[in-house]
Structure 1
Amino acid sequence: MAPEDDSLMLISQDAVVVLIRRRAARYSQLLSDIMDDLPEEVASSHIPIPKVKGYPLSKVVQWCEHTAREGVKKPVSWKMSRSQPGYLPWWDLSFLELQDDDLFAVTLAANFLGVDLLVEYCSKTIASQIRGMSIEDMRDYFHVDFDFTPEEQAVIAEELGWYSDHDEYESDIDKFYHSIPATVDILAEEELNGDWMFGSTEE
Structure 2
Amino acid sequence: MDAPTIKLESSDGMIFSTEVRAAKLSETIKTMLEVSAVENDENAIVPLPKVNAFILSKILTWIYHHKDDDAHGAEGVELSPQSPHDISAWDANFINVDQPTLFEIILAANYLEIKGLVDLCCKTVANMIRGKTPEEIRHTFNIPDEIPSRTAQLGEDL
Normalised TM-score (structure 1) = 0.60
Q: Deviation at 1:37?
A: 1.3
Q: Does 1:86 align with 2:72?
A: no
Task: Provide the rounded CA distance (Å) in 2 between the counterparts of 1:28 and 1:41.
Answer: 14
2:68 aligns to what SS in structure 1?
Answer: helix
Q: Measured at CA, do residues 140 and 46 of structure 1 come closer, stay the same or move farther in structure 2, by a change above 3 Å? A: farther
2:30 aligns to what SS in structure 1?
Answer: helix
Task: Provide the rounded CA distance (Å) in 1 between the counterparts of 2:50 and 2:142.
Answer: 20
Report the equivalent of 1:152: 151
Assess if the C-alpha contact under 8 Å between 2:55 and 2:108 holds in 1: yes
Q: Given residue 96 of structure 2, which amino acid in structure 1 is its aligned partner?
A: E
Report the equivalent of 1:16: 14
Q: Does 1:27 align with 2:25?
A: yes
Task: Provide the rounded CA distance (Å) in 2 between the counterparts of 1:143 and 1:12.
Answer: 29
Q: Does 1:54 align with 2:53?
A: yes
2:7 aligns to what SS in structure 1?
Answer: strand
Q: Measured at CA, do residues 122 and 42 of structure 1 come closer, stay the same or move farther in structure 2, by a change above 3 Å? A: same
2:143 aligns to what SS in structure 1?
Answer: coil
Assess if the C-alpha contact under 8 Å between 1:9 and 1:17 holds in 2: yes
Q: Measured at CA, do residues 43 and 34 of structure 1 come closer, stay the same or move farther in structure 2, by a change above 3 Å? A: farther
Report the count of equivalent residues. Answer: 144
Task: Provide the rounded CA distance (Å) in 2 between the counterparts of 1:150 and 1:143.
Answer: 17
CA shift digits 1:20-40 (9 cap, x unpaired)? 211111110001101111122
Assess if the C-alpha contact under 8 Å between 2:6 and 2:39 holds in 1: no
Which consecutive residues of structure 1, in runs of 5 or more, have no partner in the other structure? 156-203
Task: Provide the rounded CA distance (Å) in 2 between the counterparts of 1:134 and 1:29.
Answer: 36
Report the equivalent of 1:128: 127
Report the equivalent of 1:39: 37
CA shift digits 1:92-125 (9 cap, x unpaired)? 1221111111111111111010001110111001
Work out the percentage of aligned pairs sharing the same amino acid: 28
Report the equivalent of 1:69: 68
Q: Given residue 30 of structure 1, which amino acid in structure 2 is its aligned partner?
A: T
1:69 aligns to what SS in structure 2?
Answer: coil
Assess if the C-alpha contact under 8 Å between 2:4 and 2:40 holds in 1: no
Task: Provide the rounded CA distance (Å) in 1 between the counterparts of 2:150 and 2:98.
Answer: 35
Normalised TM-score (structure 2) = 0.75
Assess if the C-alpha contact under 8 Å between 1:34 and 1:43 holds in 2: no
Assess if the C-alpha contact under 8 Å between 1:16 and 1:54 holds in 2: yes
Task: Provide the rounded CA distance (Å) in 1 between the counterparts of 2:56 and 2:140.
Answer: 22
